Structure 1
Amino acid sequence: MFEGHVLFLLRKYLGEYVEGLSVEALRISVWKGDVVLKDLKLKAEALNSLQLPVTVKAGFVGTITLKVPWKSLGKEPVIVLIDRLFILAHPAPDGQTLKEEDREKLFEAKLQQIEAAETATLEATSRSSKGGPIPGGNSWLYNLISTIIGNLKVTISNVHIRYEDSVSNAGHPFASGFTLSKLAAVTVDEDGNETFDAGVALDKLRKSVELHMLAIYHDSDSNPWKLPKKWEDLNPGEWSEVFQDGIDDRPGNSIWAMNRRYLVSPINGTLKYNRLGQQERGDLNNPLEKASLVLSDVSLTVTEAQYYDCIKLLETFSRFRTRVDVSHLRPIMPVKEDCRAWWRYAVLAGLRQKKLCYWFSWERTRYLCQLRRRYVQLYATLLQQAPSVDIYEIRQIEKILDSKVIILWRLLGHAKVETVKSKETLHKKGSSKRRWWPFGWNSAGLPSEEGGGLEPQLDEEQLTKEEWQAINKLLSYQLDDELSFPVEKVSPNTIRFLVDVSIGQAAARIINIGHTEVMCGRFEQLQVVTSLYLKSTRCDVTLRYCGLSSPEGSLAESVVCEGKTNALDVSFVRAPIGMDLDWQFVAKISPCYVTVHI
């Protein structure tokens, strides 16, 4: 019984990405509260949601562990551990054209995004109509769930995502990768020590995230990895042997980690997040939410070969995204069978990319209006769970429409259903208050049951007043109104969200094709503080020291002396509070030494 529920949840959230989820694959101990998944293989379409011409060539997840303290739930944290996530990706096959199976995968990803946006809009509208973002905020179950989620302890370790490409830059194969040794998030107290908050943790939240050895590399003129056996035949130890080198502090000692060239050298950092509870607010100088990121050392290096590879890769991604945006207009038949359809596709795609209205004829406008009425009718019928609805026709219409249009039409369907429900409710109320005269109209102004009743009409040619009101209610939700705490009246001078980013020291180098350093820039003690108010935004940047050098020597260097605390002070304010200005910009630059080599 317990295994079945766990399997359902795992398939719901992980089934899209991993293979082999079954009851036999679970090792569950109810008393210990451990759910362990080991040696999982990733599906080839696991990266489809990115909408990029990339597919998974091989993927492996070593361990996914969920530890639930059943005997002390609400007193000890639920722990999620993910260890050894290895992904090897490559360009999608036949990247210049989209096959039918590729279109189906893109269409499935499109539907998932539409359903997510539809659900988020409906939930936000429902919360807004009820007067608050937190449903059931005082119930015991809600408090328990909030405590569990707020104290969730997550650790992700040993991540290596590698992308190999022999197509984008012809004659120059390359490989790019992302590695992460550890990412851990825990609940902490005011002193930064790990703790368990037994209060309503979603009201007051204090988290600490530790980042260890995050790096990005790009190896130019690097051939794809070749193994003596197939990827699906590798055992867990062989997966680790290939991908593990270069992730943690151990030096790479195998052929897989040799000659690795980092764009971003391994960096460490910490992130602190603090959200005040309802009882802690009131001080205008104390932000309602605050996130502080501290990075000790950041080093960026770009070579000329890496630059060319990245430009070619971005061009490939851009072409693919352009084709995806107009894929629903692309004819299915070959060019020789219907040249006119392909010319029409070229015209429509070109106009669409320029953000122009791509059809001006009255016939086209009338067709789209009829299509809208048909789709809204079908979707409203589907929402009422009618058995006769044609889901195939709905999907065929969705294939030729833009995602934003589909979302809007679905909201029209929801509005029409709500209108029908309100009419039925009003009719029932009117029927319960009958006048003594049994014929004609009742006191509510609605036809009586003897007069034919009120049948819900989902195929009306025009929208009624009630339908327009329901539509306006659905579409009046604004994302800005949902930020932070929409119910609480926040003063314009209150900082709603503050982001503080600090970097101890950093350097950026440019290296030419002959491996000679062309230019190097470095700085120390950079701090960027961004404050979000109700209608204003403020960004302050301070820099202690900066310098620029070339192979000939120093080009520029800021002055360091007792009277000069910072080399750079910049302040930018959008819509300053109490001032009739759109924006304000102030910059203070300390003197610096400039050297010119002749």
Structure 2
Amino acid sequence: MFEGAVAGILNRLLGKYVQDLDTENLNVGIFSGNVNLTDLKLKPEALYELDLPIDVKIGTIGRINLQIPWSGLYTQPVVVNIEDVLVLVGPAISNSYFDPEREKRLMRAAKRKILQDLEAESEILKGPQNFFENLFTAIVDNLQIYVRNIHIRYEDSISSKDGPLACGLCLQSLSIETTNSKWKPSVTPPNALTVYQMMRIESLSFYWNPTATALDDNETAHITPIQYYNWKHYMLTGLDKFSMHHEDFEFCESIFVTYWITLFNTYELREAN
């Protein structure tokens, strides 16, 4: 019964963001306790819930692996591994190319978001609510998440009269693990009053290139398999070489250092008051 509820939630969650989701493979993996999805392509409206005037031009997740220990959910962690999250976003409105199908998808996404905001999550879970709540609490308390290779790039060919610009986020790895009070990997015992979770972030950087090489909407809308492969290669190598199309990334270190110092000082001031 619980496996079916989890399958429904994951199908609904991934279905919002992933094109042509293989639901049969997903359901089989969930019931076996080992979900393995590869080369997932993101929908243009995948980031619509951010309420920003952008859409996904090209987006892919190389691999999602979900390990669910059905026989020991209270004593063993659920492990999520995500690799190669590569996303190219751009302005939702373009002067060079109009795709009526994309506009229809965006409108459907807006309507779907309104409906989902009105729906109660209890409609998904049919059964004794206390049981589900306790089990979900145990899963979340012991969840382990490992993400490798994230590159999100924004390209804009219409906002600047000086030509295309690009900015992006690069992240080599991110992990979230449940630990004990000494920050050693552990499992949270039932009815624990305190949950310890440790997050590690490695090689996080932001870049801003006021002049850059950018793909136009016509290229991204009709991308060929070879172009798609080359794009993934450029995005992945950008994480290692910090450059794309022979253009070095211009990092925003001073901007973000100033931002974090300001944020920290503001927090201290509020605490003092």
TM-score (norm 1): 0.38
Letter in 1 for 2:35: V
When residues 144 and 213 of structure 1 are mapped into structure 2, their CA distance, relative to the original with a 3 A threshold, is same
- Greater helix content: 2
- Alignment correspondent of 1:164: 155
Aligned match for 1:152, one of 126, 140, 143: 143
- Alignment correspondent of 2:126: none
- Alignment correspondent of 1:84: 84
Alignment map for 1:177-256 (pairs within 5 Å):
177-200=168-191, 204-225=194-215, 231=223, 233-234=225-226, 238-247=230-239, 250-252=240-242, 255-256=244-245
Is residue 3–residue 30 contact of structure 2 (8 Å, CA) maintained in 1? no
Is residue 4–residue 23 contact of structure 1 (8 Å, CA) maintained in 2? no
When residues 169 and 251 of structure 1 are mapped into structure 2, their CA distance, relative to the original with a 3 A threshold, is closer
Aligned match for 1:300, one of 233, 237, 255: 255
Is residue 147–residue 199 contact of structure 1 (8 Å, CA) maintained in 2? yes
Aligned match for 1:539, one of 265, 270, 273: 270
In structure 1, C-alpha distance between the alignment counterparts of 2:31 and 2:111, rounded to whole Å: 41
Letter in 1 for 2:190: G
Letter in 1 for 2:139: I
State yes or no: 1:261 paired with 2:254: no
* Percentage of identical aligned residues: 29
Query: Deviation at 1:300?
Result: 3.1
State yes or no: 1:105 paired with 2:106: yes
Is residue 44–residue 56 contact of structure 1 (8 Å, CA) maintained in 2? yes
In structure 2, C-alpha distance between the alignment counterparts of 1:145 and 1:3, rounded to whole Å: 12
When residues 47 and 144 of structure 1 are mapped into structure 2, their CA distance, relative to the original with a 3 A threshold, is closer
Number of matched pairs: 262
Max radius of gyration: which structure? 1
In structure 1, C-alpha distance between the alignment counterparts of 2:49 and 2:31, rounded to whole Å: 37
When residues 36 and 300 of structure 1 are mapped into structure 2, their CA distance, relative to the original with a 3 A threshold, is same
Letter in 2 for 1:261: E
In structure 1, C-alpha distance between the alignment counterparts of 2:250 and 2:113, rounded to whole Å: 37
TM-score (norm 2): 0.76
- Alignment correspondent of 1:596: none
In structure 2, C-alpha distance between the alignment counterparts of 1:176 and 1:168, rounded to whole Å: 13
When residues 208 and 528 of structure 1 are mapped into structure 2, their CA distance, relative to the original with a 3 A threshold, is farther
When residues 20 and 190 of structure 1 are mapped into structure 2, their CA distance, relative to the original with a 3 A threshold, is same
In structure 2, C-alpha distance between the alignment counterparts of 1:61 and 1:187, rounded to whole Å: 25
Is residue 61–residue 84 contact of structure 2 (8 Å, CA) maintained in 1? yes
In structure 2, C-alpha distance between the alignment counterparts of 1:259 and 1:15, rounded to whole Å: 36
* Structure ranking higher on relative contact order (CA contacts 8 Å, 6+ apart): 2
Is residue 147–residue 200 contact of structure 1 (8 Å, CA) maintained in 2? no
State yes or no: 1:116 paired with 2:108: no
When residues 507 and 46 of structure 1 are mapped into structure 2, their CA distance, relative to the original with a 3 A threshold, is closer
SS in structure 1 at match of 2:252: strand
Letter in 1 for 2:140: I
Query: Deviation at 1:105?
Result: 2.9
Is residue 32–residue 69 contact of structure 1 (8 Å, CA) maintained in 2? no
User: 1:113-166: CA deviations, max 9, x gaps?
Assistant: 46426749x99xxxxxxxxxxx73xx5x54333212211111222111111111
In structure 1, C-alpha distance between the alignment counterparts of 2:245 and 2:87, rounded to whole Å: 14
Is residue 30–residue 68 contact of structure 2 (8 Å, CA) maintained in 1? no
Is residue 3–residue 31 contact of structure 2 (8 Å, CA) maintained in 1? no
Is residue 212–residue 247 contact of structure 2 (8 Å, CA) maintained in 1? no
When residues 27 and 74 of structure 1 are mapped into structure 2, their CA distance, relative to the original with a 3 A threshold, is same
Is residue 57–residue 89 contact of structure 1 (8 Å, CA) maintained in 2? yes
Is residue 153–residue 187 contact of structure 1 (8 Å, CA) maintained in 2? yes
Query: Deviation at 1:52?
Result: 2.8
User: 1:27-53: CA deviations, max 9, x gaps?
Assistant: 956796210000111112222222333
Query: Deviation at 1:23?
Result: 4.5
Is residue 10–residue 21 contact of structure 1 (8 Å, CA) maintained in 2? no
Is residue 155–residue 183 contact of structure 1 (8 Å, CA) maintained in 2? yes
Query: Deviation at 1:111?
Result: 5.3
Is residue 7–residue 21 contact of structure 1 (8 Å, CA) maintained in 2? no
Query: Deviation at 1:22?
Result: 2.2
Is residue 3–residue 28 contact of structure 1 (8 Å, CA) maintained in 2? no
- Alignment correspondent of 1:452: none
When residues 95 and 102 of structure 1 are mapped into structure 2, their CA distance, relative to the original with a 3 A threshold, is farther
Q: CA RMSD in A?
A: 4.1
Query: Deviation at 1:167?
Result: 0.4
In structure 2, C-alpha distance between the alignment counterparts of 1:190 and 1:242, rounded to whole Å: 42
SS in structure 2 at match of 1:64: strand
Letter in 2 for 1:187: T
In structure 1, C-alpha distance between the alignment counterparts of 2:133 and 2:54, rounded to whole Å: 41
In structure 1, C-alpha distance between the alignment counterparts of 2:116 and 2:29, rounded to whole Å: 35
In structure 2, C-alpha distance between the alignment counterparts of 1:185 and 1:200, rounded to whole Å: 21
Alignment map for 1:476-487 (pairs within 5 Å):
none
Letter in 2 for 1:196: V
